[in-house]
């Protein structure tokens, strides 16, 4: 069962990278700043999700209280990491906000489609 869950998590993370690349390539038509901003927005969603996946993946076979604590800690750190990444990204020169949030939103929509496909 753990291998299947790990496989599902890997597929979701892989799909996120694929979506980030596709959206960034779409924005590349209008210039490298838009593509760059879109990619950074996508990775502002991807990196915290990657952290959360690693944080929670080692919980198989533990008692429920430890698993729940790990989820809460992982989600809290994920939210803080997302905020810190956005604070750092908006300090960069030539960042465009609309593509930034479009890349971020596109990466997050992978979870919706994962639920539909499951």
For residue 1, the tally of other CB atoms under 10 A from its CB is 6
Rounded to the nearest angstrom, the gap between the alpha carbon of residue 110 and the centroid of all alpha carbons in its chain is 9
Domains held by the chain: number: 1
pLDDT at 115: 75
Beta carbons of 34 and 27 less than 8 angstroms apart: yes
- pLDDT tens-place string over residues 28-62: 999 999 999 999 999 999 999 999 988 888 777 78
Query: Bigger pLDDT: 103 or 70?
Result: 103
C-alpha to C-alpha distance for 41 and 43, rounded to whole angstroms:
5
Domain span at residue 107 reads 2-117
Question: Tokens standing for 82?
Answer: 């997302």
Beta carbons of 103 and 40 less than 8 angstroms apart: yes
């Amino acid at each position: 069962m753990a291998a299947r869950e790990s496989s599902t998590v890997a597929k979701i993370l892989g799909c996120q990278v694929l979506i980030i690349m596709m959206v960034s390539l779409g924005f590349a038509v209008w210039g490298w700043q838009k593509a760059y901003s879109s990619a950074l927005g996508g990775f502002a969603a991807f990196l915290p999700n990657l952290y959360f996946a690693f944080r929670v993946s080692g919980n198989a076979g533990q008692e429920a209280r430890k698993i729940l604590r790990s989820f809460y800690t992982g989600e809290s750190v994920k939210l803080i990491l997302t905020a810190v990444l956005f604070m750092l990204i908006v300090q960069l020169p030539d960042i465009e906000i609309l593509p930034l949030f479009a890349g971020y939103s596109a990466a997050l929509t992978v979870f919706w489609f994962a639920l539909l496909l499951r």
